[in-house]
Amino acid sequence: MDRIRITGGVPLEGSIPISGAKNAALPLMIASLLTDETLTLDNVPRLADVQQLFHILANHGVDTSFQGKRTGQDQLAGQTVDLLARAIVDTTAPYDLVSKMRASFWVIGPLLARMGEARVSLPGGCAIGTRPVDFFIEGLRALGANIEIEAGYVVAQARAGLIGNRIRLPKASVGATHTLMMAATLARGETVLENAACEPEIADLGECLIAMGAKIEGHGTSTIFIEGVPRLRGARHAVMPDRIETGTYALAVAMAGGDVTLEGASADHLEKPIELMRQAGADITVTNRGMRVRRNGHGIYAVDAETAPYPGFPTDLQAQFMALMTAGKGTSHVTETIFENRFMHVQELARLGAKISLNGQTATIEGVKTLKGAPVMATDLRASVSLVIAGLAAEGETEVSRIYHLDRGFERLEQKLSRCGAQIERVSA
């Protein structure tokens, strides 16, 4: 199995192109199930999760074709993909496909809306908490679907079509918001989605659905209005830049020191993380190319962080921020409020010499002067990249194993970092 080997202590200098957002690309690809015309997506990242979703969609009858590269295009530029679901050939999403990635469960919304039925395996994904699907089930029931759980599958039917309704989510769930918004686009009448998640990826999906002919207002806020239409058409849409990848590389620069421009990054989606990174000593400016991050000549300050739904500090940057705090001057606290088991990086960071104690949902981090390279193991996507960040600053060699987690969500991470001078390579066992 491949590992990533890092020799730490080298400041990062140069530029890193930011890829299209994984967590926007996945729901956008799923939206192709809503129409029998071609949905063209630009800036699709090359990731294992994206590949996995192509398999799942193919099983439902979606043809995908990749448009070729143009001459002079950066090798790290995003790809353009045509998705065509002319006919849905199967409304079952089987266990062996869905269990690998939670987001694939979201196909239930479009399949049910377009075909009046869906049979989707209960999901899998990163082991960061129990991650139930009760909001999806209650929401789809409110839209008139009949839903049963049978042998590990959610079996949903709405033979006469879905009917718009007022739905209040018990918690602002990203996945439930994506799914119910997609389902409601083809329902009869108006749906009002209250306490909806406000993440920028939801706004991005909303824009794409509107380009496909959907009638949506309020996407990106906590109340979304969707007036159902009889059918949606093809469209072209560019996936938004990945705010979590951006935040991750910004934290890597804050950790290792140096001066890096994150090309194509959008600072608008990172207000809270930027505020905390500045307090920690990073110098962040918005330029016409993206975002420039520097930390030269001074240390890292200890800063507290607490995760919250957007626009709060994202849970998907919690592990990376904690990695930075392991080298902070003093004591900091990082509190996780979204998932109950998202601290698996703690024991791996400890192998590098980090001093972290856990009390419930709060980690207390006592900054150390130097981390020391060691073999560590990736446990989930964001946890694994936190080990890379720590390894970039640690003395000596760090080897991260089980990096298939990283490949799920970070496009060509070693190339991007080594372009900035990092001593990082992928080694095969």
Catalytic residue positions, numbered: 126
Q: Nearest-CB residue to ligand EPZ?
A: 175
- Residue closer to ligand EPZ by CB (options 261, 320) is 320
Asked whether position 110 contacts ligand EPZ by CB under 6 A, the answer is no
Asked whether position 174 contacts ligand EPZ by CB under 6 A, the answer is yes
Asked whether position 338 contacts ligand EPZ by CB under 6 A, the answer is yes
d(CA 293, CA 266): 13
- Residue closer to ligand EPZ by CB (options 55, 69) is 55
- Residue closer to ligand EPZ by CB (options 10, 339) is 339
Residues 1-60 that bind ligand EPZ (CB under 6 A): 23, 26
Residues 299-318 that bind ligand EPZ (CB under 6 A): 315-316
What tokens appear for 27 in the block? Answer: 């729901």
Nearest to 282 by CA among 262, 253, 310: 253
Q: Which of 30, 108, 133, 291 binds ligand EPZ (CB under 6 A)?
A: 133
Asked whether position 339 contacts ligand EPZ by CB under 6 A, the answer is yes
Q: How many residues of this chain bind ligand EPZ (CB under 6 A)?
A: 25
CB 267 within 8 A of CB 284: yes
d(CA 404, CA 214): 37
Q: Which of 134, 194, 275, 425 binds ligand EPZ (CB under 6 A)?
A: 134
Across the chain, which distance is largest between two alpha carbons, in Å? 66
Min CB(18)–ligand EPZ separation in Å: 15
Interstrand relation of 38-44 and 283-287 (parallel, antiparallel or unpaired): unpaired
Asked whether position 80 contacts ligand EPZ by CB under 6 A, the answer is no
Min CB(307)–ligand EPZ separation in Å: 8
Grouping H, G, I as helix, E, B as strand and the rest as coil, residue 127 is: coil
Q: What is the 3-state secondary structure of 42-110? A: EEECCCHHHHHHHHHHHHHCCEEEEECCCCCCCCCCCEEEEEECCCCCCCEECHHHHCCCHHHHHHHHH
d(CA 410, CA 400): 14
Write phi, then psi, for 213 (nearest 5 degrees).
Answer: 110, 5
Residues 6+ apart with CB under 8 A from 32: 39, 57, 62, 83, 84, 85
Nearest to 338 by CA among 369, 307, 384: 307
Asked whether position 322 contacts ligand EPZ by CB under 6 A, the answer is no
Q: Which of 60, 100, 119, 131 binds ligand EPZ (CB under 6 A)?
A: 131
- Residue closer to ligand EPZ by CB (options 53, 371) is 53
Site map (CB under 6 A) of ligand EPZ, residues 234-273, x = contact: ----------------------------------------
Min CB(303)–ligand EPZ separation in Å: 21
Interstrand relation of 328-329 and 300-301 (parallel, antiparallel or unpaired): parallel
Min CB(291)–ligand EPZ separation in Å: 20
- Residue closer to ligand EPZ by CB (options 240, 374) is 240
Min CB(138)–ligand EPZ separation in Å: 8
Name residue, tokens 């939670």: 102
Site map (CB under 6 A) of ligand EPZ, residues 190-229, x = contact: -------x--------------------------------
Asked whether position 102 contacts ligand EPZ by CB under 6 A, the answer is yes
CA distances from 6 to 9, 389, 418 (A): 10, 10, 10
The footprint of ligand EPZ (CB under 6 A) covers 23, 26, 102-103, 126, 129, 131-136, 171, 173-176, 197, 315-316, 338-339, 381-382, 409
